[in-house]
Amino acid sequence: MMQTLDDYILEHIDAEPEFLHTLDRDTHLYHLRPRMCSGHLQGRILKMLVRMIRPRRILELGTFTGYSALCLAEGMPESSELHTIEIDDELEDFIRSHFDSSEFADRLHLHIGDAKEILASMGDVKFDLVFMDANKREYCEYYDLVFPMLEEGGFIIADNTLWDGHVVDESHLKDAQTQGIVRFNKMVAMDDRVEKVILPIRDGLTLIRKRPKCEL
């Protein structure tokens, strides 16, 4: 059988750590929509980006089963912390069990509830990196909420911004999730306060850098 390009890539990057392999397996065994898990390639990318950015504080919108949070935590400097928000309270015990068994447990802060309400309650806290992977219909609202919370020169990483190619497929443009992503992509493209690039990796990953005031 001919080797696929995806298989070739996975064979030539860092291996998936055992604790993440276990989490991915458990996600596929016990939860619906396991495709929402970031997976091996995207997980290594997230870790590498954190290594490069070296954020002191990370915010994640949309924990799901915790795979991406643990990948982000892998790359964090020892003094850093990560706050992750998940709306589905039925996932809490699963997430906490995997967080608590990791070496990053004391630096991971899980919040259960609606992201908009939790963000509003956080006060003046600032983040150096935000990973957005929550309800696609509300990406624009999330962007407006987290932007003032982002340090100058900080980054937003938005997942699923190509939405399985639906953003350029007219047959899907009436779908609410697709519409949310299309609105978000247009909003970011028109925002001169940021630098932005879309990486055609997996389901689309947009890197957004908040320009310091001296660059505006």
Angle formed at CA 179 by CA 195 and CA 193, multiple of 5 degrees? 20
Q: What was the pLDDT predicted at 33?
A: 87
Domains annotated on the chain, with CATH: 5-215 (3.40.50.150)
- Distant-in-sequence, close-in-space partners of 151: CB < 8 Å, separation ≥ 6: 126, 127, 128, 210
On the question of pLDDT at 35 being above 90, the answer is: no
On the question of pLDDT at 50 being above 90, the answer is: yes
Q: What value does the mean pLDDT of the chain take?
A: 95
Q: What was the pLDDT predicted at 170?
A: 80
Percentage of residues in the chain with pLDDT exceeding 70?
A: 99
On the question of pLDDT at 1 being above 80, the answer is: no
On the question of pLDDT at 128 being above 90, the answer is: yes
Interval 144-199: pLDDT, tens = 999 999 999 999 999 999 998 889 988 877 889 999 999 999 999 999 999 999 99
Between 112 and 31, name the one with better pLDDT. 112
What b/e sequence results for 4-20 when a residue is b if at least 16 CB atoms lie within 10 Å of its CB, and e otherwise?
eeeeeebeeeeebbeeb
* Global confidence as pTM: 0.95
What letter would DSSP give residue 37?
A: S
Q: Which amino acid is at 99?
A: F
